[in-house]
């Protein structure tokens, strides 16, 4: 693992996240991985921050609500099969780590584990969470929520960032 400045690689990470990345959370003996395609990086509350969005209808939502942290692994190699699987199957029904042969390792600074894959890895300490309120949403965005299954936004302080081989 090679430490990197999270903001120096943010633009490249955003481009890769559009193709899919992995969010890993662990809390109260439960662990799950899911695909994300949206994330934001910035400097908020005097700290480097990553924001991820998890639909309230997802199995991961129940875990991340109790979590103190989350990790995001942005693959730099070919992992489209795993990204598609983790984005279309529920951890409620099966073990996505086992099904995709994904292994984790202990994170450097947070309690949620990190995937052992080539890519950019972000360890984030939970700072703030807020459910979306559709009354404040641009009407054009409604098409993204035909089932009214809105996201909760999770803001994590990036406490460690590195490249894994």
Strand partners, 99: none
Predicted pLDDT at 165 = 80
Per the rule left: phi > 0, alpha: psi between -120 and 50, beta: everything else, 105 is beta
Q: Are strands 69-75 and 47-55 parallel, antiparallel or unpaired?
A: unpaired
Contact criterion met (CB below 8 Å) for 139 and 145: no
Torsion 70-91-94-117 (CA) sign:
negative
pLDDT tens series, the chain, 165 aa = 899 989 899 999 999 999 999 999 999 999 999 999 999 999 999 999 999 999 999 999 999 999 999 999 999 999 999 999 999 999 999 999 999 999 999 999 999 999 999 999 999 999 999 999 999 999 999 999 999 999 999 999 999 999 998
By C-alpha distance, which of 84, 39, 29, 89 is closest to 62?
A: 29
pTM (predicted TM-score): 0.95
Task: Give the range of the structural domain holding residue 88, as residue numbers without chain letter.
Answer: 2-164
The CATH number covering residue 51 comes to: 2.30.110.10
Total count of domains within the chain: 1
By C-alpha distance, which of 18, 20, 54, 19 is closest to 126?
A: 54
90-121 per-position pLDDT tens digit:
999 999 999 999 999 999 999 999 999 999 99
14 by DSSP, 3-state: which?
Answer: helix
Residue 8 half-sphere exposure, CB side, CA atoms within 13 Å?
A: 6
Distance set, CA 140 to CA 18, 145, 146, 152 (Å): 20, 10, 12, 19
CB atoms within 10 A of CB 25: 29
> Phi, psi at residue 96, to the nearest 5°?
-65, -30
């Amino acid at each position: 693992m090679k430490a990197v400045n999270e903001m120096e690689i943010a633009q490249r990470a955003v481009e890769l996240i559009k193709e899919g990345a992995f969010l890993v959370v662990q809390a109260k003996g439960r662990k799950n991985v899911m695909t994300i395609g949206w994330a934001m990086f910035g400097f908020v509350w005097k700290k480097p921050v990553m924001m991820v969005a998890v639909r309230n209808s997802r199995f991961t939502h129940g875990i991340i609500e109790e979590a103190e942290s989350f990790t995001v692994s942005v693959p730099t190699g070919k992992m489209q099969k795993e990204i598609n699987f983790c984005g279309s199957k529920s951890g409620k029904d099966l073990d996505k780590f086992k099904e995709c042969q994904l292994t984790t390792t202990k994170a450097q600074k947070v309690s949620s584990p990190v995937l052992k894959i080539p890519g950019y890895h972000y360890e984030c300490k939970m700072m703030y969470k807020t459910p979306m309120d559709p009354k404040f949403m641009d009407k054009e965005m409604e098409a993204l929520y035909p089932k009214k299954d809105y996201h909760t936004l999770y803001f994590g302080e990036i406490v460690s960032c590195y490249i894994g081989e």
